[in-house]
C-alpha cells in the first residue's frame, strides 16, 4: 500500500513543535478522548451503585490516563511505543468488570468491597498483558496483518455507533434525533471537513477545536447549551494507593484475564495504524520493538490504574483519527497530552467544564474520527493479499462481530460467563479472525494457480 505523502504530515514522529502548536494538538486529542475516558466509570458507577465515589474514580481515570500517555510517548526503559498512544479507560472491560462487581454485590458487599474486588482482579490481570508483550515476536504468527486489520476495522465501526448516538443527542436522550441535534452535529462535521482540506497547517491543526467551538457557540445560541453550576467537588484529588482495599476471586479473574488478551490484539491493531499514519515501518525489528514497548506500556498503565483506583486502560483508537485529521504525529505532543490529562484529574472542576459540551457537538467531531479509525483498518487490510481464503476470513469475522453488535440479545440464553466474553463485536470478530487464520490452509489451490497464470503476460 502507498504510504501517506510527505505533505500529509505537518510534524513527523520525532519533530518538536513549538509549545503553542503542540498545546493545540494535545487539546484536540484530549477533546476527542475525554468523554471516552470518563464514560466507563460513569456506567460502572451507575450499575453498581458507586455514586459517592464517582468524582474520585473519574479523577483517577484522568490522572492515570495522563501518566500512561506520558510513558507511551517518552518510552522510558522500553515502556511505551514512543508514539502518541493516548491511554484511556477501556470499554472492552465493561462486561467483565460489571460481572465482578455484581458478584460481590450479590454477596451483600459494600461499594468499597466491590471496588476492592474489581481493582484486585484487574491488578493481577495486567500481568497477562505484560507477559504477552515479551512474546510479541511469537504472537505475530497469530496476530497477523490480516487479523490486526480486521480488529482495527471492527474497533472503528464499533466506535461509529458511539459517535452517531452522541450526534443524535446521547444514549436515551429525550430529544434523540431532534432536528436541532442533527443540525449541530452536521455543522461540526462539515466545519472539520472543510478546515481539514485547507492548505494552511495552522487551520488543519486547529480543525477539531474550531469545529467544537463553532458547534458549542451554535448550541448556546440555539438553547441547547445552557451552562450549569459546577458540581460541589474538592479542589484537588490526591491519589491514594489501594484506597478501597484489595481482594481476589478466580471467578471474577478469568473473564478479566481473557479480556486483557483481546485488549492486546486491539493494541496491536491501534499501534499498526499509528505506525502507518506516522510513516513508520509496519514490519521488521523496529516495528516489533514498538509493538513490544506499546503493549508493555498498556500493561504497566493498567497496573498503575488498578493501584490508584482507575479501571483498566488501553491505547485509544480514536486518537489515530486525530493524527490523520491534524497531520501531527510528533511523540512530543504526547508529553503535553499526558501532562494536561494529569492536571484535569488533579483539578476535577476543569473536567466538569468540558463535560458541558453538548453531546451532538461532540458526536459531530467524534463521528469523523471514528470513521477514520475504520478507514485505517481498511488500509491495513489493503496490504494483505485478498485471495479467496483471506476474503472468507474477513467476511466471517466482520459478519460474526458486527452481527453480535447488531443483535446482542443473541447470547442472552447463554451462561453469564459466555455473555461477558463474547458480547463485544471486537472479541467475537477478533477471535474468529485468529481461529480461521490459524486453521484454514494457506496452500495455493488449483484455482489460485490458474488465476495467477491468467495474469501472466501472454505470447512469450
User: What is 213-228 written as a DSSP string?
Assistant: HHHHHHHHHHTS--PP
Going from the C-alpha of 12 to that of each of 288, 306, 318, 338, the distances in angstroms are 20, 33, 19, 19
The whole-number pLDDT of residue 237 equals 79
Going from the C-alpha of 147 to that of each of 189, 432, 444, 448, the distances in angstroms are 31, 9, 20, 22
83, 294 contact by CB (below 8 A)? yes
Composition of the chain by helix, strand, coil, percent to 5: 70, 0, 25
The whole-number pLDDT of residue 294 equals 93
Calculate helix-pair angle for 359-381, 318-326, nearest 10 degrees: 90
82, 278 contact by CB (below 8 A)? no
Name the DSSP letter for residue 2: P
In angstroms, the CA 328 to CA 326 distance is: 5
Strand partners, 50: none
The whole-number pLDDT of residue 351 equals 63
H, E, C per residue of 305-318:
HHHCCCCCEEECCH
Going from the first residue of the chain to its last (460 residues), give the mean pLDDT of each consecutive group of 10, the final group possibly shorter.
Answer: 52 86 86 77 79 83 94 92 90 78 86 92 94 83 82 80 83 84 92 84 72 90 81 77 89 82 82 87 86 93 94 85 82 92 83 75 82 81 89 94 85 76 77 90 56 40
In angstroms, the CA 334 to CA 62 distance is: 15
In angstroms, the CA 429 to CA 320 distance is: 21
**Which of 87, 112, 115 shows the shortest CA–CA distance to 345?**
87
Residue 34 C-alpha cell reads as 475525554
The whole-number pLDDT of residue 397 equals 93
Q: Using the Cα atoms of residue 164, residue 334, residue 30 and residue 101 in order, give the sign of their dihedral.
A: positive
Q: Give me the phi and psi of 107, to 5 degrees please.
A: -85, 0
| Burial of 123 (C-beta count, 10 Å sphere; 0-12/13-18/19+) | buried
60, 343 contact by CB (below 8 A)? no
* Residue boundaries of the structural domains of the chain: 19-133+172-250+271-372
In angstroms, the CA 324 to CA 83 distance is: 14
Query: Residues 6 or more apart from 203 whose CB is under 8 A from it?
Result: 195, 210
425: left (phi over 0), alpha (psi -120 to 50) or beta: alpha
The whole-number pLDDT of residue 449 equals 45
**Which of 134, 6, 144, 53 shows the shortest CA–CA distance to 434?**
144
**Which of 133, 40, 35, 33 shows the shortest CA–CA distance to 86?**
33
**Which of 246, 240, 257 shows the shortest CA–CA distance to 130?**
257
Amino acid at each position: 500500500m502507498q504510504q501517506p505523502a510527505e505533505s500529509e504530515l505537518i510534524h513527523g514522529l520525532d519533530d518538536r513543535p513549538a509549545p503553542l502548536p503542540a498545546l493545540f494538538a494535545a487539546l484536540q486529542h484530549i477533546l476527542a478522548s475525554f468523554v471516552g475516558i470518563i464514560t466507563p466509570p460513569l456506567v460502572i458507577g451507575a450499575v453498581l451503585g458507586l455514586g459517592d465515589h464517582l468524582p474520585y474514580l473519574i479523577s483517577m481515570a484522568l490522572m492515570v490516563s495522563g501518566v500512561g500517555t506520558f510513558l507511551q510517548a517518552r518510552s522510558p526503559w522500553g515502556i511505551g511505543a514512543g508514539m502518541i498512544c493516548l491511554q484511556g479507560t477501556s470499554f472492552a472491560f465493561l462486561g467483565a468488570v460489571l460481572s465482578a462487581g455484581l458478584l460481590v454485590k450479590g454477596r451483600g458487599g459494600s461499594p468499597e468491597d466491590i471496588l476492592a474486588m474489581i481493582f484486585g482482579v484487574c491488578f493481577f490481570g495486567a500481568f497477562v498483558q505484560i507477559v504477552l508483550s515479551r512474546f510479541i515476536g511469537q504472537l505475530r504468527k497469530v496476530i497477523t496483518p490480516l487479523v490486526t486489520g480486521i480488529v482495527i476495522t471492527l474497533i472503528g465501526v464499533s466506535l461509529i455507533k458511539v459517535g452517531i448516538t452522541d450526534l443524535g443527542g446521547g444514549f436515551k436522550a429525550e430529544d434523540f434525533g431532534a432536528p436541532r441535534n442533527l443540525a449541530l452535529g452536521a455543522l461540526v462535521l462539515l466545519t472539520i471537513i472543510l478546515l481539514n482540506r485547507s492548505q494552511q497547517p495552522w487551520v488543519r491543526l486547529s480543525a477539531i477545536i474550531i469545529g467544537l467551538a463553532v458547534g458549542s457557540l451554535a448550541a448556546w445560541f440555539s438553547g441547547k447549551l445552557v451552562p450549569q453550576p459546577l458540581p460541589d467537588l474538592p479542589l484537588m484529588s490526591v491519589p491514594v494507593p489501594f484506597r478501597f482495599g484489595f481482594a481476589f476471586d478466580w471467578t471474577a479473574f478469568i473473564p478479566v484475564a481473557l479480556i486483557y488478551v483481546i485488549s492486546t490484539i486491539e493494541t496491536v491493531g491501534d499501534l499498526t495504524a499509528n505506525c502507518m499514519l506516522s510513516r513508520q515501518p509496519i514490519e521488521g525489528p523496529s516495528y516489533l520493538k514498538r509493538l513490544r514497548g506499546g503493549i508493555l506500556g498498556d500493561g504497566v498503565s493498567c497496573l498503575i490504574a488498578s493501584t490508584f483506583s482507575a479501571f483498566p486502560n488501553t491505547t485509544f483508537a480514536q486518537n489515530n483519527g486525530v493524527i490523520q485529521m491534524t497531520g501531527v504525529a510528533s511523540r512530543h505532543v504526547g508529553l503535553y497530552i499526558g501532562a494536561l490529562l494529569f492536571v484535569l484529574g488533579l483539578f476535577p472542576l476543569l473536567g466538569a467544564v468540558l463535560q458541558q459540551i453538548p453531546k451532538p457537538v461532540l458526536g459531530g467531531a467524534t463521528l469523523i474520527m471514528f470513521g477514520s479509525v475504520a478507514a485505517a483498518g481498511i488500509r491495513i487490510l489493503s496490504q494483505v493479499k485478498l485471495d479467496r481464503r483471506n476474503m472468507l476470513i474477513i467476511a466471517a469475522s466482520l459478519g460474526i462481530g458486527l452481527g453480535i453488535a447488531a443483535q446482542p440479545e443473541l447470547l442472552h440464553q447463554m451462561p453469564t460467563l459466555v455473555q461477558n466474553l463474547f458480547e463485544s463485536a471486537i472479541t467475537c470478530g477478533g477471535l474468529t479472525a485468529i481461529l480461521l487464520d490459524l486453521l484454514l490452509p494457506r496452500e495455493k489451490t488449483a484455482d489460485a494457480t490458474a488465476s495467477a497464470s491468467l495474469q501472466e503476460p501472454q505470447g512469450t
